[in-house]
């Protein structure tokens, strides 16, 4: 009996790799919507104001929102949140309506509550 290493056997393990669907719904993608962007921790300490309200197109992605937030707060925000290739830094967590979103291409309209966006930088190094 041989088991090929390259046989990725279809089983429940594959479900583990699928992102959880929590907080992701299909919503209308028309018009504009108001979003409160709130900074926490190091980002809040750096900024003169911890939050801003933005009006964005309902079909906008999280990446679009971040770009607008960068214009409001300053370029320093994007330096902290995005890496040199424009990807979200791993230790930066973004929550839309209380649910974590990793993909900046995610349209805000598909989230359960696109009106609240939280951005926070977590500690990177650890050990032990």
Question: Applying CB under 8 A, which residues contact other proteins?
Answer: 1-9, 11-17, 20, 22-23, 38, 40-46, 83-84, 89-91, 93, 95, 97-100, 118, 120-128
Of 15 and 55, the one with the shorter C-beta distance to other proteins is 15
Query: Considering beta carbons, is residue 14 or 30 the nearer one to other proteins?
Result: 14
CB 55 to other proteins: min, Å: 23
- Cβ-contact 66, 104 below 8 angstroms: yes
Query: Is the CB of residue 67 less than 8 Å from the CB of residue 35?
Result: no
* 21: DSSP letter: -
Report the alpha-carbon distance of residue 40 to residue 122 in Å, rounded.
Answer: 10
Measured CA to CA, the distance from residue 26 to residue 2 in angstroms comes to 45
Q: Which is nearer to other proteins, 49 or 124 (CB)?
A: 124
Least gap, CB of 54 to other proteins (angstroms): 19
- Report the nearest approach of other proteins to the CB of residue 21 (Å): 10
Residues 6+ apart with CB under 8 A from 24: 99, 110, 111, 112
- Cβ proximity to other proteins: between 57 and 118 the closer is 118
Place of tokens 């699928």: 18
């Amino acid at each position: 009996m041989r088991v090929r290493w390259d046989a990725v056997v279809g089983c429940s393990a594959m479900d583990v790799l699928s992102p959880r669907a929590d907080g992701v719904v299909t919503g209308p993608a028309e018009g504009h919507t108001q979003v409160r962007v709130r900074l926490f921790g190091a980002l809040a300490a750096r900024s003169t104001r911890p939050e801003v309200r933005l009006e964005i197109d309902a079909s906008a992605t999280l990446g679009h929102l971040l770009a607008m937030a960068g214009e409001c707060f300053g370029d320093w925000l994007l330096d902290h949140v995005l890496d040199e290739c424009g990807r979200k830094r791993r230790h930066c967590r973004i929550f839309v309506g209380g649910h974590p979103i990793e993909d900046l291409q995610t349209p805000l309209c598909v989230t359960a509550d696109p009106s609240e966006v939280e951005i926070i930088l977590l500690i990177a190094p650890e050990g032990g």
